[in-house]
């Protein structure tokens, strides 16, 4: 199973990654980062390592490890 890391401090919560995830395991956190944004976090397991989320992220805050 693949692993996703998200730089919570740099994420602006644009939700592009959420919309492209085929397994629907990403979602906005209820917490906010120091910039005042609700950042994206994983909402369970099941990542298949497609890296669609990392490729679409405009701020390059997501890394996928297979």
Q: Which domains does the chain have, with CATH numbers?
A: 3-65 (3.30.70.20)
User: Is pTM, for the whole model, over 0.85?
Assistant: yes
For 2-14, write each residue's pLDDT tens digit: 999 999 999 999 9
Q: How far apart are the first and last CA of the chain?
A: 7
For 29-47, write each residue's pLDDT tens digit: 999 999 999 999 999 899 9
pLDDT value at 1 more than 90: no
CB-CB contact of 62 with 42 (8 Å): no
CB-CB contact of 51 with 9 (8 Å): no
Question: What's the sign of the alpha-carbon dihedral 10, 13, 17, 18?
Answer: positive
């Amino acid at each position: 199973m693949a692993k996703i890391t998200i730089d919570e401090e740099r994420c602006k919560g644009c939700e592009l990654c959420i919309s492209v995830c085929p397994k629907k395991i990403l979602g906005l956190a209820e917490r906010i980062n120091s910039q005042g944004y609700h950042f994206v976090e994983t909402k369970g397991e099941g990542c298949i390592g497609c890296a669609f989320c990392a490729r679409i992220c405009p701020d390059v805050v997501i890394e996928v490890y297979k």
